[in-house]
Structure 1
Amino acid sequence: MINTNCSSSHSRKALCCKMSVEFDTFIESNKKWFCHFDDDNYVNVPRLVRFLGDYSPMEDWYLGKTSIQAPLEITNKDKVSQKVKFWFATGGAGFCLSRALALKMMPVASGGKFISTGEKIRLPDDVTMGYIIEHLLRKPLTVVEQFHSHLEPMKFIRREILEDQISFSYSKNKDEWNVVKIEGFDVKYDPNRFLSLHCYLFPRFTFCPR
């Protein structure tokens, strides 16, 4: 666990602050991949590792899933006011960057520059990431269908493909839960179904129902 010393709020600046620390921590490490998932994600880590094995960290890869139907269009008020379009991978489903791509991002993302870039376009962390990669560096997003955010209906992920998926999410709208459809623990004990999902994928754990 790393204390980012950022605000615990969900404001744009707080989110960019946390992402900035994550990015700098990755740059200082010798790791091949930078992967970010939100705290409402369940991540099948062994599946993620196998998936990344098909890609080279020495090439430029921006892997994730969009949450919108068309590229985001913003007015970039830099030296000249102009409209720019770009895709971004939603943090609600998670995304991964190769080391090669992260190193190219350093001039506009490392050492706290990620925060100032986010402030310049006045957009949150995952959108700022897409702006840097797709617009500034001209590197395209590779869509990964096995990443899932709460913005899609979880109940439509079929049981027979659960083991092949990488990330899952959930949300609650009034009294209705958007969750993976899976048997297991009592709904009162496991409302977001993550414990039940974990036991379906990895039944060897002692706390799983027999």
Structure 2
Amino acid sequence: MPYCNVAKRYRLVALFLTLFGPTAGHQTRGHNHAAEHQQHIAHSPAGLEDVVLVIQSQRNSFHAQRGQQRRQEILQQAAELGQGFPFVILLHELSDYEGDWSILPALPLLSDSYRSASWFLFIEEETRVTLAALLQVLSRYEATKEWFLGKRIHDIEASIIHHYAFSEDPSSFGYPDPAAGWALSAALLQRLAERIQYEYLKSDFTIDLIHEIALYIWEEGKGPKLTAAPEFCTEPRGNCLTTFTSYLPNCGPPVSKEHIFIAVKTCQKFHSERVPVVKATWEADAGPLEYYSDVADSSIPTVSLGVPNTERGHCGKTFAILKRFLSNAVPKADWLLIVDDDTLISLPRLRRLLRCYDPKEEVSLGERYGYGLVQNGYSYTTGGGGMVLSRAAVSRIISGGCSCYTDDAPDDMVLGMCLKTLSIPITHSPLFHQARPDDYSEMRLSSQQAISFHKHWNVDPVAVYKHWLQDTHPHDEL
């Protein structure tokens, strides 16, 4: 079947769903053939028409385009294979709710919309899928039973981002590497979809999505653990059903350092402790940069914004930075990067990443967390890992009337609530990190070119920077 006909067919399906609702076509199929379909999946391997493939896409135009490209590649591969077509879903198009990225709120809609499906495969935008290998792997498991499949990774040490779960034996709990993709049988997804509608999560925060999904599925031993399937891969090798490219795509030459204005939040008590680390590591790669403190110190130098120092939150200081960024007091730049004085960052890698984004769009980029997402909550970019905002986004935040309810309110969360109100999506990159390298799976970090880490607690920050963030052969400066 020619590829153009596949694409045309897919567009017609999408148009039908738009006109008649997300479940219309699939409900009819499931209703007319329910008994026959149940008999089929109980006695024969799944076909591609039994698979829902969810690309964890994002609303930002660059990521939406990448998701669409991945979908078209999959459909073309299906046409060449000649064994039917899977349902290929872009997660950001599933509904209008921005919190669908956290998967659990999206499960009821997925379950209702694709009732005839046997398997649900979740992949990143940059995860490649070999459909023939996928069918071979799925044929080993009965979709009528509860299966959770993926590439198993685990913590080596108890981690703060996992709330020190399994502290006695961190390696005992496995969770999937999201870059390699992961799969749920229809039986398991349906039960999870029913459960999420009546059971509150133990935590309101979504911090490390894939670990929290694995914990929710495991249900303190009442549910299935992850089954490791070796065909879920990141690095290419024989018989892989998935492989992974990169979280740092090549979108062209890095943006000029003059196009990124950097705001470092500090305070007097850390002038002699943390600021020297910044100067010894990443400051040399910076263009325009200012240190913002509660006192002016010419030896650094620092700028006092007239906002008293607070022990936590720093919302007043951050909003003062946003307003200063738009003023004539600082050089005009396309991008604003706000970091803490104990943030370690690779500016050359950030400049490469920013080439993928249009600063004329309203962009908020960093490590995305969530609050109350199952109950219609909001997302936010974590402050410690670095918050990147386009000039267009900063202008909209200020003109939109957003403000702090107190100076010590959590700045990243207040900005998250503001962005939700203004319908500006949070764009996630796993290359930003709110915690230290030791707090993440080394197997997971190995597939990244990290952009940032945070905190100097119990580490040598200069050594962390040199090992994880400093490029041996940096790209040419612009």
Match of 2:462 in 1: 195
Match of 1:53 in 2: 355
5+ residue gaps, structure 1, are 74-83, 178-191, 205-210
CA contact (8 A) 2:371 2:379 kept: no
- Give, in whole Å, the separation in 1 of the partners of 2:374 and 2:456: 23
Q: Report the CA distance between 1:148 and its aligned residue.
A: 0.3
Return the letter of the residue paired with 2:384: G
CA contact (8 A) 2:312 2:409 kept: no
Q: Structure 1 residue 26 and structure 2 residue 325: aligned?
A: yes
Q: Structure 1 residue 104 and structure 2 residue 396: aligned?
A: yes
Match of 2:368 in 1: 66
CA contact (8 A) 1:36 1:91 kept: yes
Match of 1:128 in 2: 414
Match of 2:451 in 1: 166
Return the letter of the residue paired with 2:455: Y
- Give, in whole Å, the separation in 2 of the partners of 1:7 and 1:17: 8
- Give, in whole Å, the separation in 2 of the partners of 1:153 and 1:67: 19
- 1:8 pairs with 289, 309, 316, which one? 309
- Give, in whole Å, the separation in 2 of the partners of 1:152 and 1:89: 19
Q: Report the CA distance between 1:35 and its aligned residue.
A: 1.3
1:104-123 per-position Cα deviation (integer Å, ceiling 9, x unaligned) = 222245xxxx5xx2217x94
Q: Report the CA distance between 1:169 and its aligned residue.
A: 1.6
Structure with the larger RCO, 1 or 2 (CA within 8 Å, 6+ apart): 1
CA contact (8 A) 1:72 1:87 kept: no
Match of 2:387 in 1: 95
Give TM-score scaled by structure 1 length: 0.67
- Give, in whole Å, the separation in 1 of the partners of 2:436 and 2:423: 26
RMSD: 2.9
Return the letter of the residue paired with 2:422: L
* SS of residue matched to 2:431: coil
Q: Report the CA distance between 1:66 and its aligned residue.
A: 2.7
CA contact (8 A) 1:147 1:168 kept: yes
Q: Structure 1 residue 143 and structure 2 residue 442: aligned?
A: no
- Give, in whole Å, the separation in 1 of the partners of 2:361 and 2:340: 25
Relative distance call for 1:155 and 1:11 in structure 2 (3 A) is closer
CA contact (8 A) 2:367 2:381 kept: yes
Match of 1:119 in 2: 405
CA contact (8 A) 2:347 2:451 kept: yes
Q: Report the CA distance between 1:59 and its aligned residue.
A: 1.0
Match of 1:207 in 2: none
Return the letter of the residue paired with 2:316: C
Relative distance call for 1:202 and 1:151 in structure 2 (3 A) is closer
Give TM-score scaled by structure 2 length: 0.31
- Give, in whole Å, the separation in 1 of the partners of 2:391 and 2:427: 16
Number of residue equivalences? 165
Match of 1:41 in 2: 343
Return the letter of the residue paired with 1:21: A
* SS of residue matched to 1:92: coil
- Give, in whole Å, the separation in 1 of the partners of 2:440 and 2:304: 35
Q: Report the CA distance between 1:32 and its aligned residue.
A: 0.3
Return the letter of the residue paired with 2:323: D
Q: Report the CA distance between 1:11 and its aligned residue.
A: 4.2
1:35-57 per-position Cα deviation (integer Å, ceiling 9, x unaligned) = 11122210111111111111110
- Give, in whole Å, the separation in 2 of the partners of 1:94 and 1:157: 21
Bigger share in helix: 2
CA contact (8 A) 1:92 1:149 kept: yes
* SS of residue matched to 2:388: strand
Mapping of residues 73-92 of structure 1, within 5 Å = 85-92=377-384
- Give, in whole Å, the separation in 1 of the partners of 2:354 and 2:377: 28
1:30-88 per-position Cα deviation (integer Å, ceiling 9, x unaligned) = 11011111222101111111111111101121112134475396xxxxxxxxxx62111
Return the letter of the residue paired with 1:146: L
- Give, in whole Å, the separation in 1 of the partners of 2:438 and 2:471: 23
Relative distance call for 1:202 and 1:153 in structure 2 (3 A) is closer
